[in-house]
Chain A
Amino acid sequence: MSNKYWQRLIWIIVLAMLWQLTALSGTFSEMIFPGLDQIFLALIESLEDGVLIKQIGFSLSIIIQGLFIATAAALILALTAYFSKSAAGLIETLTALAHPLPGIALMPLILIWFGSGKTAILIVIIHSVLWPLILNLNTGFNSIPDIYTLIAKNYRLNKLEFMFKILIPASLPYFISGLKIAWARSWRALISAEMLFGAINSLGGLGWYIFQKRVFFDLPGVFAGIIVIIVIGVTVEDFIFKKLETKTVKKWGMLK
């Protein structure tokens, strides 16, 4: 383990101890400030009876679908914008209008148009991912060295070959950083959408799980949900994206 992770681990232990001491001191009621022991008991209980696992599965499956659809759409739109000036105007205008709009502001509308099911959550995720990803891809495509377009001409690459052999790999650093933003934004959007849209057949995802725990004033349960959200968020950012970078752009010397 690298120094950075040791440091992080040590600080987590210190913060956890502070938390536990505060809880034990009795300054706050146990009802609103549960100790770590209670939180972990709640976490293990929920994991054991399978409720939490189901909710995690629900949340992850929706977010993966949303990310997949949005990434494919962003690639298609950004490539269209790269090759066609008139399409670029439209796509840039749409992005400029939609990008600053927080997904949560759209939720009442989505509720009316699409109801409160899975589709609604998916739309919120796609909205939160699509625009930043298009922006990053556009920047990436437009910042490839001019020499690559000369080479493409010289070696007679057609548009498709140019896309896959040059344009996409050359802008991969931007693509990955776009995906990171996309992940962070969609994870936030997902949790808030789940809280607002509620459950279908008792399945409502992690957001719904926390929301439900609050209704029953089960604070250890609320914290258990929060811990799961943190753990998944950190895992994806630190391991999946780090790994992706080490295996590609870092290995290629395109990112220091």
Chain B
Amino acid sequence: MGNVKVSSYLELKNINKSFKTEKGSKIALNNINLQIKENEFLTILGPSGCGKSTLLKIIGGFIRADSGQLLKNKKELKTAGLDRIMLFQDFEQLFPWQKVIGNVSFAVKAAAKNEKDKLTKAQIKEKSLKYLSEVKLTDYQNYYPHQLSGGMKQRVALARTLAAGGEIMLMDEPFGSVDSQTRQELQQLLAHLWQEEERTIIFVTHAIREAVFLSERIVLMKNEPGEILEVVENKLPHPRGHSSQFNQLFEELQARLQD
């Protein structure tokens, strides 16, 4: 299991964000305060329109909050960077002109350059293959993305995200576009990877089951305006099968989201 440190690592302070619409301005996020621990698996769970994706984009540095602060180890973060790598839902996130291995080595090269490491071609290949084997796609290294199924594409994207070497991985409903069977496989893979690697994962979803299966803490959000309802601890032991405790937590969360 990931080594969870108690001290606050990533911190969101009084984050506010509104968007301009035709009818004036709409509040997407209202006074968000959240502390995220190092190496924890956190899900942000809420209905569509609650601002959870916006929140993730703010953490990623893709958009700026109107007010409030984003801190990592007490230092303010203002731009996107390789320490917070985003995994998207869209299959288009892979580059169709690169083979599977090329898509992964793209991240290996970017990470090496960021760390000012000089890697040889063989080292880049070796590293990329290591991440591909973690998502069990070594045999598909020379395929092009369009030759893969949706689930495999997301596994390549996951390997690329891992290969970037960031301490924090941001995931925006990454398994939202695959069938339920594949989705379960991907969830198991991710849960397993998180236990192996020392990484902080912030995972956005609207599927309660997914949140219960994956994460250690669950941030419940509501919409209009987007606010945090509460943060629920999930101490179920891994691997998380469908036990009675699982269902109990599931129903509890469902009830709280419906209030």
Digit string of A144-182 for contact with B (CB within 8 Å is 1, else 0)? 010110110111110000000110011010000000000
Contact A253 B110 (CB under 8 A): no
Contact A253 B95 (CB under 8 A): no
Q: What residues of chain A lie closer than 8 Å to B46, measured between beta carbons? A: none
Q: What residues of chain B lie closer than 8 Å to A156, measured between beta carbons? A: 80-82, 110, 113-114
Q: Per a CB cutoff under 8 Å, which of A147, A153, A169 touches B97?
A: A169
- The answer to whether A254 has its CB under 8 Å from any CB of chain B is yes
Q: Per a CB cutoff under 8 Å, which of B60, B92, B97, B107 touches A145?
A: B92
Contact B81 A147 (CB under 8 A): no
Contact A150 B86 (CB under 8 A): yes
- The answer to whether B144 has its CB under 8 Å from any CB of chain A is yes
Contact A251 B95 (CB under 8 A): no
- The answer to whether B147 has its CB under 8 Å from any CB of chain A is yes
Given the known interface contacts A155-B106, A155-B107, A156-B82, the answer about A147 and B144 at a Cβ–Cβ threshold of 8 Å is no
Q: What residues of chain A lie closer than 8 Å to B61, measured between beta carbons? A: 153
Judged by DSSP, the binding face of A is: helix
A254, B145: Cα distance in complex, Å:
10
- The answer to whether A216 has its CB under 8 Å from any CB of chain B is no
- The answer to whether B88 has its CB under 8 Å from any CB of chain A is yes
Contact B164 A155 (CB under 8 A): yes
- The answer to whether A248 has its CB under 8 Å from any CB of chain B is yes
Contact B144 A253 (CB under 8 A): yes
| B99 and chain A: residue at smallest CB distance | A252
List 22 A–B pairs whose Cβ atoms lie within 8 Å, in order of A's numbering: A145-B92, A147-B88, A147-B92, A150-B88, A151-B86, A153-B62, A154-B60, A154-B81, A154-B82, A155-B107, A155-B164, A156-B80, A156-B81, A156-B110, A166-B95, A169-B97, A172-B97, A248-B97, A251-B144, A252-B96, A253-B145, A253-B147
Q: Per a CB cutoff under 8 Å, which of B80, B96, B113, B114 touches A254?
A: B96
Q: What residues of chain B lie closer than 8 Å to A153, measured between beta carbons? A: 61-62, 79-80
A189, B16: Cα distance in complex, Å:
59
- The answer to whether B146 has its CB under 8 Å from any CB of chain A is yes
A248, B146: Cα distance in complex, Å:
13
- The answer to whether B90 has its CB under 8 Å from any CB of chain A is yes
